[in-house]
Amino acid sequence: MLRTFRGGLLIGLAVAAAVAAGAITYERYDTKTLKRTIRRDAVLCGVNAGLPGFSIPDDKGNWSGFDVDFCRAVAAAIFNDPKKVKFVPLDASERFKELQSRKVDILSRNTTWSMSRETSYDLYFPAVYYYDGQGFMVRNSRKSETALELDGAKVCVQAETTTALNLVDHFKTNNMKYEEKKFGKLDDVLKAYDSGECDTLTADVSQLYALRLRLTKPGDSTILPDVISKEPLAPVVRQRDDDWMMIVKWTLYAMLNAEELGISSDNIDEALKSKKPDVMRLVGTEGAYGEVLDLPKDWAARIIRHVGNYSEVYERNIGQKSKLGIPRGLNQLWSAGGIQYAPPIR
Ligand SMILES: N[C@@H](CCC(=O)N[C@@H](CS)C(=O)NCC(=O)O)C(=O)O
């Protein structure tokens, strides 16, 4: 006991000394994100500046998309109002530093969870909201059927992404040559491919679907079936604010559990009258699951009412009836052949 106390005291003194010496900034120990969010009356959400289906503003500045809806769901849980979000467009290269420096409190920007991103930037990826993988888009005229037929190709890619790193691995592993055309800005990647400067464009498969819509002739390009990497896309928060991290994590799990239990924005009022124990725990008519998150009892019901369950968000933005038309694939619930699996609320 005494040893533990002494140990704790020593660690405390060491942290204080490091803070005083400027080695550690106070931000690293910031635990007030929820308080500041409530005071500001809005969630600060870092998004991609223009990726159809995921996050894109219309000409009036209204944002829509899968990544956008996730932040709206967090706002619904906190404020009972999905509109209380301020969207901040961020580049691929600046996104982690902007989160670290508190310009945003959630990054919801087609971002891959990787070990070095958590460790180098003191960040945390609470849960995977979209299982993706990297692929290639080619012009139909090239007649390539797989990513193994790209020997000697000119490849367009965006810098500061996991995509650029996997590209090197793929060609090396398969003993193929390529010419890399790397750009800092997505618009330049797209322009270079569209003008024929590159034979192929590589990105996360979900992004290829989105980017294809922005080509002069979308029908002239195909997305090859190969997936060369794991890209678990997840929201990102700062480390050491566990309360905030829990809200972000359980927002996603509430949406997945709602889908699993058949609760949607259409039937939420009936669900609030349900006597089924697992439904009651989710919608807050039994237990104190909201309170432990520092939120009201009906936190999950608010998310479902205002934004929808996981399937509603998926289908509306990127599913088969949307412009992107991406099949659910890996992002089906575990009970329907996919790997989306939320821990239970209990
Ligand atoms: N998931 C990958 C790629 C994410 C990424 O930033 N992709 C680029 C290429 S499509 C993008 O969205 N760029 C948009 C921009 O920088 O505005 C990662 O986290 O590194």
Q: Is the CB of 221 under 6 A from ligand 1?
A: no
Kind and range of the H or E run holding 8: helix 2-20
Q: Whole-angstrom Cα distance, residue 147 to residue 56?
A: 29
pLDDT number for residue 265: 98
Q: Whole-angstrom Cα distance, residue 191 to residue 118?
A: 32
Confidence of residue 83 (pLDDT cuts 50, 70, 90): very high
Q: Is the CB of 167 under 6 A from ligand 1?
A: no
pLDDT number for residue 148: 95
Q: Whole-angstrom Cα distance, residue 269 to residue 276?
A: 14
The strand pairing partners of 155, in sequence order, are: 180, 200
Q: Tell me if residue 117 falls in helix, strand or coil.
A: helix
Mean pLDDT across the stretch 176-191? 95
pLDDT number for residue 299: 98
Mean pLDDT across the stretch 258-267? 98
- 8-12, 186-190, 279-283: least confident range: 8-12
Q: Is the CB of 162 under 6 A from ligand 1?
A: yes
Mean pLDDT across the stretch 255-278? 98
pLDDT of 286 over the 50 cut: yes
Q: Is the CB of 190 under 6 A from ligand 1?
A: no
Q: Is the CB of 158 under 6 A from ligand 1?
A: yes
CA of 93 to the centre of ligand 1 (A): 9
CA of 280 to the centre of ligand 1 (A): 39
Q: Whole-angstrom Cα distance, residue 57 to residue 192?
A: 23
pLDDT number for residue 31: 83
Average pLDDT of the chain is: 93
Mean pLDDT across the stretch 280-306? 98
pLDDT of 12 over the 90 cut: no
Q: Do 129 and 65 form a contact (C-beta atoms < 8 A)?
A: no
pLDDT in tens, 17-34: 544 444 444 455 678 999
Confidence of residue 221 (pLDDT cuts 50, 70, 90): very high
CA of 18 to the centre of ligand 1 (A): 35
- pTM beyond 0.85, yes or no: yes
- 25-34, 177-186, 285-294: least confident range: 25-34
Q: How far is CA 175 from CA 171, 178, 182, in A?
A: 6, 10, 20
CA of 329 to the centre of ligand 1 (A): 21
pLDDT of 269 over the 90 cut: yes
pLDDT of 5 over the 90 cut: no
Residue environment code for 152-180, b if the CB has 16+ CB neighbours within 10 A, otherwise e: ebbbbbbbebbbbbbbeebbeeeeeebeb
Determine whether 57 is exposed, middle or buried from the number of CB atoms within 10 Å of its CB (0-12, 13-18, 19+).
middle
Q: Do 123 and 96 form a contact (C-beta atoms < 8 A)?
A: yes
Q: What percent of the chain has pLDDT over 90?
A: 90
Q: Say which amino acid occupies 149.
A: E
Mean pLDDT across the stretch 312-317? 98
Kind and range of the H or E run holding 120: helix 115-121
By most ligand atoms within 8 Å of CB, the mutation choice from 155, 207, 209, 227 for ligand 1 is 207
Among 292, 304, 302, 294, smallest CA distance to 345 is for 292
Instruction: Kindly give the number of the ligand 1 atom that is closest to the alpha carbon of 233.
Output: 1
pLDDT number for residue 10: 56
Mean pLDDT across the stretch 152-173? 96
Any idea how long the chain is? 346
